[in-house]
Amino acid sequence: MNMFQIIALVLIVMINGSLGGRKSKCEVVRALRAEGAKDSDMRDWLCLVAHESSYRYDVTHKNDGGSTDYGIFQMDDKYTCGNADGTSTSICWRIRTFGCEDACSTFIDSDIRNDANCAVRVRNCDGFRRWYGWVNNCSSDELEKPDYDFEDC
Q: What is the pTM of this model?
A: 0.85
Alpha-carbon distance 60 to 75, whole Å?
Answer: 9
pLDDT value at residue 5: 38
Which strands sit side by side in the sheet containing 68-70, from one edge to the other?
60-62, 68-70, 75-76
pLDDT value at residue 83: 93
Residue 106 lies in a domain: yes
Task: Return the higher-pLDDT residue of 48 and 140.
Answer: 48
* Structure confidence at residue 147 as a pLDDT band (50, 70, 90): very high
The CATH code of the domain that includes 51 is: 1.10.530.10
Alpha-carbon distance 125 to 108, whole Å?
Answer: 23
**Selection from 123, 104, 127, 124 nearest residue 114 by Cα:** 104
Is residue 13 scored above 60 in pLDDT? Answer: no
CB atoms within 10 A of CB 110: 12
- Verify whether residue 115 is a known catalytic residue: no
What is the Cα gyration radius of the chain? 17
Among residues 69, 76, 77, 102, the one annotated as catalytic is 69
Residue 71 lies in a domain: yes
- For the chain, the domain total comes to 1
Residues in the chain: 153
Is residue 10 scored above 80 in pLDDT? Answer: no
Among residues 35, 39, 41, 52, the one annotated as catalytic is 52
**Tell me: the pLDDT tens digits for 94-107?**
999 999 999 999 99
Residue 1 lies in a domain: no
- Verify whether residue 142 is a known catalytic residue: no
Residue 19 lies in a domain: no
* Structure confidence at residue 1 as a pLDDT band (50, 70, 90): low
Residue 104 lies in a domain: yes
Q: Residue 47 is part of which domain span?
A: 29-148
**Tell me: the pLDDT tens digits for 29-46?**
999 999 999 999 999 999
Q: Are 71 and 115 in contact (CB under 8 A)?
A: yes
Q: Which amino acid is at 100?
A: C
Alpha-carbon distance 107 to 81, whole Å?
Answer: 9
Q: Cα 113 to chain center, whole Å?
A: 10
Cα–Cα distances in Å, from 145 out to 43, 83, 148? 9, 37, 6
